[in-house]
Chains A and B, each alone.
Chain A
Amino acid sequence: MAFLAGPWKGGGPLDLSALMVVVPTKQSGRRLREAIAGYAATQGQAAFPPRVLTPDRLIASDATGSEASPLESLLAWAEVFRGLELEEFRSVFPIDPPERNFAWAVRLAQGFARLQGSLAEAGLRLSDVPAKAGADFPEAERWRQIAELERRHTRELASRNLREAQAAKIERAAAPVLPEGIQGIVMLGTPDPLPLALRALAVHAQSVPVEVAVFAPEADAAAFDAWGRPLAETWTTRPFALREFEQRVQLCADPAAQAERVIAVARGYGGSDPGVLGAGVADSEVLPLLEAGLRHAGLAGFNPEGRACHGDGFYQLLAALAGLARDDSFAAVETLARCPDFLEFLPARGNAEVSAAGSLAALDEMRARHLPPDLAAARRHAPGSAALAAVAELRATLVAGVFPENAAAALRLVFGARKFDLARPADALAAESAKAWTEVMRETKEAAAVFGNISNAEWWDVALRLYGELQHSDDKPAGAIELQGWLELLWEDAPHLVVTGLNDGSVPEAVVGDPFLPESLRERLGLKTNAARFTRDAYLLQALAACREQGGRLDLLLGKTSVAGDPLRPSRLLLRCADAELPRRIKFLFSAVESARPNPPWRRAWQLQVPEATLPSRVAVTALRAWLDCPFRFYLSRVLRMEPVDPGKTELDALDFGTLCHAALEAMGNERALRDCTDAAVLREFLLNTLDATAARRFGRELTLPLIVQLESARQRLSRAAEVQAQTRADGWVIEWVEKKFVLDVGGLVVSGKIDRIDRHERTGAIRVLDYKTSDKPAQPWETHLRPARRDETAPEFARFLHRERETVWGDLQLPVYLRAIAAEFPGETECGYFNLPKASTETGIARWDEYTRELAESAWRCAEGVAAAIRAREFWPPNEKVRPEYDDFAALFHHGVAESVAGKERVR
């Protein structure tokens, strides 16, 4: 600071406005200005700051219109690739890609744009490479072709009156303009300035004095070149000196472990002393863990980098709109509907009363019932839905006209009625995002003016990517610990600095796997090489240590593995030591670390507090079975009425499937004319027609794939059922009743139900109760109703009985209750059984319950009364521990035993 201020001793403002100061990064610039303000303050004064900028700004565009924006450059590349005859470029594209679409072209374009960028850093164009690299290098032909590609790129731009930006930049560097009023330039603590920027500085040096200042002891002057860049000779060989090396350097298991140590020390400082502790994050994997950890520990952390926009909420809304613009699938609708901005838009559309919860529930209901493929289908099912209407309006807007106008229009719709109060941080942030996106839209609009044949969807993709890559910087909370990248640390003046991620590849930074510029070529071209990065980082590390020799402290953390578990290696910088020391260093840095975190034994956080609820006034027959299955789950499902939603539902579930088939069969039964029909063909036709009609009513004409398959299946089952029905009629059985409703008092409990079908035999007059079953395997009544007692049977007494000398338990009471229910109406012999429509059509048929004896009937009734009594007595215990989780709707509630998971059993007892 003193160096900049020079003789100034207060008395009038500290005026540096005639000075231009070059610093390595934005953040360091900020640091400098803060320091200047502080310095002036020491004299009770203020300052006119110098013009502070980063090297790349030295040659940045002066925003003259003719220069191609990055987007335009990208699209120009895409144009080049789309129209390319690959045969002429076999050294670049040895084989044809599977498909040459826009997406392919854009992804290529990004690669080439990046390539241009990295060459431009050294003032090179693609076409310079062959010459620069020398004749002897292996991929000469490839690069000749790449050069040709670049020529075409330039042409594409030229044909649109655009200048290629990188080229322009290089020209600017040759003849930079000095802002008026600048009388001197200082480059401050910038160990690896952009080579191209140095060209510009060199030119400036002819008109104004240019000084270069580095952070290093006077004695080391010789260790840097004229531009303040550390010299390889010196820094790659010089041992890294750090006192108490083995205390200061810590090997941690993984990023999480590193984060934890930083958080521990931060906690130690209690956040009370901002400015004592600084944290450096050289390995990007540590950053999120560190941020989350600090937040969780109630400490503030601040990442000056800011956050990429694709993490923010507004991006999600845009993505949802893009989805809707692409197609109006119901999934796209659901996604959009869950965007808060959309939910706020609903009432704004003049239906003030629509509730968010209501709309979402309705959508889920819609999916569950109708499985609509798209918006149109959904609207046919619910013409009145405000939410769907709103989506439809947006969809219409999005597909009308061209991008970005239609996108902007849609957004104006959504936000039209909203006011953003800039005083509210949330609103301010939203407004900021909106501005950023609008900028993107403008950019695309300009580009769209000159680049044709790009579809809306493609524009959306491009624009979204642009926006997603932007950075939000939130303001720094008071007392927050700054989490800075490796290159910022030189400017960090906190006395205690903890740096994480000192692993090779992060420090020294290494770039590998560039398909165009391998290290060897970079060397030939004079681009930044990993070797150069090594030198730079060797110097940086030493500098960080050196300036904390007195009264300061530098801690270095490194990880053994990455988050994904890949092994990491210690930074080579830490191995810069006298050979004699090396073995010890190696042993220290390559020792094994067992993960510090022990895993505590499983333990229950809490037991569920089951609320009380009043019993339903009447229950369905199926309830009896449910209770027998598991009294407690009965309580949850039938008394508390807890029911899941399956948001991923894409096809009929077993129940839907059954209902569909039932509907057809019921209709058949109701059709008096068909009751005597023995012609399978006729029956089949009727059944299938009814099925189609029902399906159409419920699902509309457009069916999704699984539905088509499932209906196909239903069709097959019904066809076969028709034959069976024809046969049964031929055997003399006539349908007497279908879907016969009944209400039955079982020991004081009202049980209601519907009997699928009752047949009467035309000759014997015998009565037969049938229930349709559509399970994949044919069901046998005795198997579904009875089961052998388990070794540790928990079923209550009334459910057990001796059946053929075997301890047997009632699992279901459906048919017995049916029989009981109709006993009065049809006295005398009644049989019962299932009409199976299983998976294998050969197994379709009627399964009679032959041995349904009087004893069974009595035992069953005893059981039914028992269940009824239990329900009325609120006996919902013990639960069935044997239900397999994958078949248990309530699995999420239970861990390590159902009974164990629940408190307050007395309430359900």
Chain B
Amino acid sequence: MTTVGHVMILASAGSGKTYALTNRFVRLLALGAKPERIVALTFTRKAAGEFFDEILNKLARAASEPGYAAQLAGEIGVPAFGAADFLKLLRAVADAMHRLRLGTFDGFFARVARNFPLELGLAGEFEILQEHAARMERGRVLQRLFGRAGELAGAQREFIEAFKRATFGADEKRLGAQLDRFIDEHQEIFLAAPGRDHWGNPARIWREGWEGLKAAAQLAPAAQALRAALADVALSAGQRARWDAFFADLAGWSPGAPMGAALNYLFGNALKAWPGLAEIMVERKKHALPAVAGDALRRLLQAIIGAEFGRRLEMTRGIYAVLNGYEAVYHDAVRRAGKLTFGDVQRLLAPGEDGARTLSREAAEGNRLFIDFRLDAEIDHWLLDEFQDTSFGQWSVLKNLIDEAVQDAAGARSFFYVGDVKQSVFAWRGGDPRLFREIFNHYNDARPGIIAEEHLLKSWRSGPPVVAMVNAVFRAAPAIGELFPGEASAAWNREWRDHESARPQLGGHAALLHAADEDARFATALKLLHEIEPLERGLTCALLVQKNNTAAELAEYLRREGGVPAVAESDLHVCVDNPLGTALLALVKAAAHPGDTLAHGHLRMTPLGDLLVAEGLAEPERLTRRLLGQIHAEGFERTMDFWLRRLEPRLAADDAFSRARGRQFIAAAGLFDATASRGIAEFIQFMESYTVRDAEAAAVVRVMTIHKAKGLGFDVVILPDLEGTKLDARRKGLAVQRAPDRSVEWVLDLPDRLFAEQDTVLAAHLRAAEADACYENLSLLYVAMTRAKRAMYVITKPPGKSASRNFPKLLAEALGGESATVRVGKQEFAGAFSEGDADWHTRIAPPTPEVRGAPEIGRLDPATVGKSQRLPSRQPSDEKTGLLGGAQLFALTGGGSAAADFGDALHRLFAEVEWASDPAMEKIAALWSGCGVAGEEALACLRAPELAGVWTRPEGATEAEVWRERAFEVVLDGAWVTGVFDRVVVERDGKGIARRATVFDFKTDRIGDEREVAATVLRYAGQLNLYRKVAAVLLELKREAVTCELVLAKMHRRVVVPVTGSR
């Protein structure tokens, strides 16, 4: 087959990434690739699903529309292809559907791991922990860490020491909260660098050695020297005062503690005078520093810095130890129990230094995971989507497989990756945009041109005005370069290419509007919505913000102030965001924690209060017993459903919302039950943290974060929340220095900028980190500005003189800062930039609403169809009643079920007897005496004169027949009865017509006195009369002709059971 070649595509926003990807897929098929030999990976399940649908629909269309077939054939570079050929491909794909490998990275990795458990050190199958479950596990681990004393005393001591170092005396009262935060913030880093020696290790940070601690020791002497030296320096009163304050602060200062104002002030000024320190600015006047003073000050500064660094190193090691303590328990309790997160799976698959566990298609090599056989997969072709979000970890798992593909001599395999470095907004969770180029260079350096580079710059999403505004902002290389000097802007400008709109006919409008503060920005947004009326015009509309809670506030504001149907697409806490849910939870709390007067009080204020009274559960005691019992027996879902059903009549008839929430609540409870936990506290916690994403309902204004909007497009986009601080502010948290191969070199709790700046190594790290932050923020703005199809309105505060290098600043630099009047339809706004048609929306006719009824399943007319017969079923043994003692239930020997065994044995033996008289009996008897207690008993019964009648042919009967252990099926009074006779003796006349019958039922339970006999008879009356009826039917006899006898084996008693009416 012709070689398909390797391709890297840099696809700008809206330029049809998915389109390119699906075309690639089709092209591969057209060139003869087997569908199951292609792997296409992306990030979200949703994307994967859509991707698959699009391929099939594309093929289906090409198979049925020659015109389109020709077009597609052209696009994929196989012009010869026609509808018929595409139909073949379609059939091929359809048949291979189950073997296709289109999905998420996570999914693919999990699948691989499942096939190599032992190779990865797992003990077998594992389950993937989703968000909720992972939270729960963490909770348990913390409980375990906190709950126990003594037992892990050793570890405990260590842990506490660590904790003290981590928080350095500046203790924290709420350990739980603190640790939780620790884990959130640092766990990923820990797992990336589990080695102790990476953490706060000066040797790793400062290769040329570090004098900090020595310097720190100088603190006191240096301070003294300086004080002395300053004594005879001419200072103004003010300056003198400053210095005194400085020394006062210094005395109180300990490393890590915030510096006092005076300390901070002079420290800063001194650094400005660094390293000369011949004079220093104090109180807006320089004063000279004699050499002694200068020198003392120098040593003092170094001491302070040294002390600060020393403490940070210490803390970092502390943090490590704390995490290490937690991880040890977590690892043991969770991962080893076969509960892994996707992250764990990926780490397991990471090849590791020794290159062990490398995925490969070459069977030969020992320590490798040969996937062809285990996965039934011979993967030739790789398609990777959204590559800018791929983490180095993910890449390193796939690297070798893709190497093999790229280096395939025959050129029969291929690698294709597509993405947009300008949209790398997921760096904070590992996305590694640099890979994009690195990989390209890596291969192309070795074999120039091996991977082709393509750019997609036509936007199929946005109209000209939007594109124009985007270009205007991001083309502004000088502005960007000047605002963010260095690598950040350089990298950005390097990759930038002007966009163009592929849909000029779309028209539209793009503008930058000004508003003073948040309220004004929200108001402006609302004003725009009222003017444009997107929903009335059948346009999709979104407002993009930076934070989830802003989204919630804004949506709330639009609903409240403007009556706009706005939905915040943050995750909704459906179980607690409404009175119904919290009341139901209060019910559980109140029951499980009778002392919870809050929960009890809460209940009383809700309809549940009356309900409980009505159910006679007002008393805590009753409530506790009843509810715990219910939960215990039926689980939370059924229990909650039970109460919800009782509550429903008390909801307003038209209250669809609360009913919907009720359903969601029950569903959530069901999910919890599935975890097989009945822990009340865990349940509460689960329900409180349980969230669902609001279903994307049509005809609403959607409010969401820019991150969530990635990959989506809307007719109208409003950006009212671009304020914020410096774009190049480094993410807070531990500083992690990585080598070019992304391995962690060192981790440090970075000191404040003021300090870090003073150190070349840390300063360098700082700059790099800031460059990354800046790049990520530019990407964020780019994503935000490329979501709009027709119209985009950016609302920021006028830059004014605020120097902070934030979005508004950038926009002002690029689009102009002068406030002018910007018109949108009939409304006027203050703004700085406007492109396109201010009346665009007025030209859009409202759509004709099409009516679609929810699909329903038709019904058959019960009258006309033959029903399948379904009878309630009964078994004579059901008729049994009686009391079982708790103790005897759990007897391991004798009694309880042991008795049952004995009974069965006895029944088996009795079944061997036809007539005691017949010769065979001798042999049987002999055998019996061999088989233990049951045998003895059986023999005794057989010999017992009282029971002779059971075993002997009734005299007078010409013919008698015995049924032994005979099963029957019968329909009696509309019920289907199934059962087994122990022994029935049937007497027939000459013509073989049954005349009478006796049903014997053997009972082997211990029965003492007459009273118990009577009781027993009573107990089994129902059962035996049922036998009587059955026998009557089978033999076509009157019931009176059938005798029923209980045979009490132990007592050697026969008791006739009187005929009773049907039970």
Contact = CB atoms under 8 A, between A and B. Distances in A.
B613 interface: no
B145 interface: yes
A892 B375 contact: no
A343 B160 CA distance: 38
Nearest to A41: B971
A361 B146 contact: no
Interface string A331-347: 10001001110010000
Interface in A560-597: 560-561, 564-567, 569, 572, 575, 579, 582-584, 586-587, 590, 592, 594-597
A492 B857 contact: no
Contacts, number: 534
A645 B593 contact: yes
Contact of B655 (A317, A404, A603): A603
A583 B159 contact: no
B624 A360 contact: yes
Contacts of A92: 118
B894 to A, nearest CB: 12
Cβ-closest 10 pairs across A and B: A567-B49, A415-B886, A46-B970, A275-B867, A373-B149, A361-B595, A357-B594, A418-B886, A713-B171, A41-B971
A373 B147 contact: yes
A273 to B, nearest CB: 4
B592 A360 contact: yes
A705 B151 CA distance: 11
A776 interface: yes
Contacts of B656: 600, 603
B410 interface: no
30 contacts: A41-B971, A46-B970, A48-B966, A247-B858, A264-B857, A265-B857, A278-B868, A292-B667, A316-B632, A356-B624, A360-B594, A364-B593, A364-B596, A404-B892, A495-B868, A504-B97, A518-B115, A519-B376, A552-B860, A569-B52, A582-B91, A584-B64, A587-B60, A590-B56, A596-B854, A599-B697, A647-B592, A654-B173, A702-B150, A895-B577
A893 B599 contact: no
A709 B658 CA distance: 45
Nearest to B112: A513
Interface stretch (A154-162, A207-215, A219-227, A436-444): A436-444
A854 interface: no
Interface stretch (B293-301, B468-476, B637-645, B827-835): B637-645
A415 B886 CA distance: 5
A259 B95 CA distance: 28
User: Which of B170, B175, B602, B857 has the most CB atoms of chain A within a 10 A radius of its CB?
Assistant: B857
Interface in B554-590: 559, 565, 567, 576-580, 582, 585-586, 589
A596 B115 CA distance: 38
Contact of A704 (B56, B148, B171, B331): B148
B71 interface: no
B897 A438 contact: yes
Contacts of A857: none
Interface in A264-320: 264-265, 268-269, 272-276, 278, 288-289, 292, 295-296, 310-313, 315-317
Nearest to B580: A605
Taking each of B173, B645, B680, which has the highest tally of chain A beta carbons within 10 Å of its own beta carbon?
Answer: B173
Given A104-B336, A510-B98, A355 B145 contact: no
Nearest to A520: B376
Interface in A486-513: 492-496, 498, 504-505, 508, 510, 512-513
B572 to A, nearest CB: 9
Interface in B842-868: 854-860, 862, 864-868
Contacts of A608: 579, 602, 605-606
Given A364-B596, A590-B57, 10 more contacts: A111-B123, A312-B633, A408-B892, A423-B882, A435-B889, A565-B46, A590-B60, A595-B695, A611-B605, A840-B170
Contacts of A423: 881-882
Interface stretch (A451-459, A635-643, A675-683, A814-822): A635-643
B696 A552 contact: no
A322 B321 CA distance: 32
Contacts of A374: 148-150
A192 interface: no
A49 interface: yes
B883 A338 contact: no
A93 B94 contact: no
Interface stretch (B671-679, B764-772, B797-805, B939-947): B671-679
A602 B580 CA distance: 12
A543 B609 CA distance: 54
Given A256-B667, A515-B116, A594-B698, A643 B173 contact: no
A422 B880 CA distance: 8
Interface in A414-448: 414-423, 426, 431, 434-435, 437-439, 441-442, 445
B293 to A, nearest CB: 27
Contact of B53 (A262, A419, A530, A590): A590
Interface stretch (B251-259, B284-292, B787-795): B251-259
A565 B143 CA distance: 31
Nearest to B892: A408
A330 B143 CA distance: 11
A431 B880 CA distance: 14
Contacts of B48: 567
Contact of B124 (A111, A418, A565, A579): A111
Contacts of A19: none
A899 to B, nearest CB: 14
A594 B696 contact: yes
Given A339-B632, A583-B60, A657-B173, A49 B967 contact: yes
Nearest to A565: B45
Given A108-B123, A310-B676, A361-B594, A551 B57 contact: no
Nearest to A100: B123
A103 to B, nearest CB: 7
A605 B658 contact: yes
B968 interface: yes
Contact of B864 (A49, A95, A108, A551): A551
Contact of B90 (A138, A312, A586): A586
Given A340-B629, A343-B625, A703-B149, A515 B118 contact: yes
Interface stretch (B392-400, B449-457, B869-877): B869-877
B657 A601 contact: yes
A38 B1034 contact: no
Interface in B402-420: none
Nearest to B974: A41
Interface stretch (B366-374, B733-741, B745-753): B366-374
A343 B628 contact: yes
Given A356-B625, A364-B595, A438 B896 contact: yes
B374 A518 contact: yes
A891 B142 CA distance: 25
A553 B609 CA distance: 48
A513 B976 CA distance: 44
A338 B970 contact: no
Interface string B213-255: 0000000000000000000000000000000000000001110
B883 A421 contact: yes
B125 interface: yes
Contact of A365 (B57, B145, B595): B595
A426 B633 contact: yes
Given A110-B124, A709-B163, A38 B971 contact: yes
B446 interface: no
A670 interface: no
Interface string A513-555: 1110011110000000010000000000000000000011101
Nearest to B864: A551
A643 B884 contact: no
A61 interface: no
Contacts of A414: 886
A498 B857 contact: yes
B731 to A, nearest CB: 24
A829 B645 CA distance: 67
